[in-house]
Amino acid sequence: MKKSIQFIFILCVWSCGQEIEKPTTFKPKVPSYFGGILPEPSYNKTTLEGIALGKKLFFDPITSSNNLVSCASCHHQNLAFSDDGKKISNAGVSGKNLHRNTPPLFNLAWQTGYFWDGGAKDLESQVFAPLQHPDEHNQDLKALIVKLQNHAEYPKLFAKVFNNEPISSQNISYAFAQYERSLVSYKSIYDNFLQKKDSTIFTSTQKKGLLVFELHCEKCHKYPFLTDFLYHNNGIDTTFTDESDERVFMGRFRITNDSADLGKYKTPSLRNILLTAPYMHDGRFATLDDVFLHYTNQIKVSKTLDENLKTKITLSEVDKIALKAFFETLTDYEFIKNPTYSIEK
Ligand code: HEC
Ligand code: HEC
């Protein structure tokens, strides 16, 4: 009896050995107030092996023309994948300054536009920008495929994730996207509050901060992601006429060509905000005090200024201290230790 089972087992290993094992599909853990499921496109469902491959690529400088720059050169895990306190990064292959501040990377699966102006519609296409940009990875895609094909580990990993297909720029982008989608952040003190609906979790100063926040800021930095994922002019500039550098200084207008979108940028999430200074699309504000000063005293009026910022916001010193205390509850320390905790059983 035992022997025949062994025999069948050996037979199967022998005859099935040539086939590639299927990657492991799974459902990541996502809180109910995020909708309970991870949004993902039907053509690129996340698998455990796909995430692992995307992670390896994300941290691997093989993805740049000089083999020195990886995504992590600018997106630092310990800072929720934002940049190292730099206004503008120059960590790419050319060493030249980019034009915008490096945003953090989390809860990306729920976004419908990537970059400060929403210039990329999905993560699968977004990644080609940093890979090919001369001031980022400066990487020719065909040359990247050759490097990966000649690598000791990548061919096997790609084969398993992508059903034995050859390594292609599409598969590369799909792997990056799977890893990025799995970066879900929902373990801050604020999340404890959302889960239990119990404000005793907060100190009295934090509770006051939440009220100030709801009154002045939550309209755009919306519950539960602390962004509405939309584009607004929050009054940091008066004119948007600089057409240089492919119009990156004109906001969402660069994408839509609609003058109503001049100076509008995507509302950034305020989750992990203490880790992501400096602030705004060009990193112009070094501290939260600079940000508060902006919203209370420096709003610049222009045609596209958001309605919600047309009435003056007043914040007392106590309000500012309370807001900062509330912002402390938005840091997800678990996430920076283990950014893919949502995929754990
Ligand atoms: C040299 C620095 C640098 C490198 C290297 C880099 N990025 Fe970025 N990343 C940025 C900057 C700056 C932006 C914002 C650009 C903009 O909005 O115009 C950005 C934006 C993004 C966004 C959009 C986030 C959002 O909320 O809209 C994603 C996603 C992203 N990067 C992923 C990657 C991946 C994946 C890699 C590696 C293939 C990478 N980045 C490499 C600097 C960098
Ligand atoms: C009308 C919508 C709106 C309101 C109201 C609003 N914000 Fe913003 N906020 C934005 C937009 C849009 C940006 C990005 C602007 C840019 O980069 O050019 C932003 C950026 C920020 C940033 C920078 C985040 C980063 O990662 O760089 C902080 C901090 C911030 N807001 C805090 C606040 C606070 C505090 C309040 C309330 C006092 C507030 N916001 C009210 C729309 C709004």
Nearest CA to ligand 2 atom 33: 217
Q: Can you give the pLDDT at residue 21?
A: 81
Which of 161, 193, 159 lies closest to 179, judged by CA? 161
- Residue 188 pLDDT more than 60? yes
Cα torsion through 112, 118, 122, 123, rounded to 10? -110
- Measure 81 CA to ligand 1 centroid, in angstroms: 10
* Atom of ligand 1 minimally distant from the CA of 58: 37
What is the CB < 6 Å shell around ligand 2? 216-217, 219-221, 232, 234, 236, 265, 267-268, 270, 273, 276, 279-281, 291, 295, 306, 308-309, 313, 323
Tell me what percent of the residues of the chain surpass a pLDDT of 90.
90
| Ligand nearest the Cα atom of residue 209 | 2
Cα–Cα nearest to 223, from 337, 120, 326: 326
Least distant ligand from the CA of 104: 1
- Here the tokens at position 311 are 């009435």
Q: How confident is residue 13, by pLDDT bands cut at 50, 70 and 90?
A: very low
Distance from the alpha carbon of residue 157 to the mean position of ligand 1, in angstroms: 24
Total Cβ atoms within 10 A of residue 338: 12
Return the pLDDT at 308: 97
Which ligand gives the minimal distance to the CA of 283?
Answer: 2
Q: Whose CA is nearest to atom 32 of ligand 1?
A: 127
Q: How far is the CA of 73 from the centre of ligand 1 (A)?
A: 10
Confidence category of residue 199, pLDDT binned at 50, 70, 90: confident
Average pLDDT over residues 253-280: 98
- CA–chain centroid gap for 335, Å, is 13
* Ligand 2 atom showing the smallest separation from residue 308 Cα: 1
CA distances from 244 to 10, 147, 290 (A): 67, 35, 27
Q: Do residues 191 and 29 make contact, with C-beta atoms less than 8 angstroms apart?
A: no
**Average of pLDDT values for 174-190?**
98
Find the range with the poorest average confidence among 147-156, 227-236, 240-249.
240-249
Residue nearest to atom 19 of ligand 2 (CA): 267
Distances (CA, A) of 284 to 25, 143, 220: 42, 37, 20
For residue 205, pLDDT beyond 60? yes
Mean pLDDT, residues 81-88 = 94
**87 in ligand 1 pocket by Cβ < 6 Å?**
no
- Residue 8 CA, ligand 2 centroid: distance in Å: 64
The tokens 């970066």 sit on which residue?
183
Nearest ligand (C-alpha, residue 240):
2
CA–CA separation, 200 and 171 (whole Å): 47
Query: Minimal CA–CA distance to 104: which of 341, 342, 339?
Result: 339
Give the residue, by CA position, lying nearest to ligand 1 atom 9.
Answer: 102
C-beta 89 within 6 A of ligand 1: yes
Is there an atom of ligand 1 within 6 Å of 91 CB? yes
Ligand 1 near 82 CB (within 6 A): no
Torsions phi, psi of 137, nearest 5?
A: -85, -20
Instruction: Using the mean position of ligand 1's atoms as its centre, give its distance from the Cα of residue 138 in Å.
Output: 13
Among 277, 265, 336, CA closest to 115: 265
Task: From the CA of 313, give the closest atom in ligand 2.
Answer: 38
The pLDDT value recorded for residue 198 is 85
What is the amino acid identity at position 66? N
The residue to mutate among 102, 219, 221, having the most atoms of ligand 2 within 8 angstroms of its beta carbon, is 221
Inter-residue contact 123 to 108 (CB < 8 Å) = yes
- CB-based contacts of 315, cutoff 8 Å, min separation 6: 212, 216, 292, 295, 296, 323
Mean pLDDT of the chain: 94
Query: Looking up tokens 């709003």, which residue turns up?
Result: 299
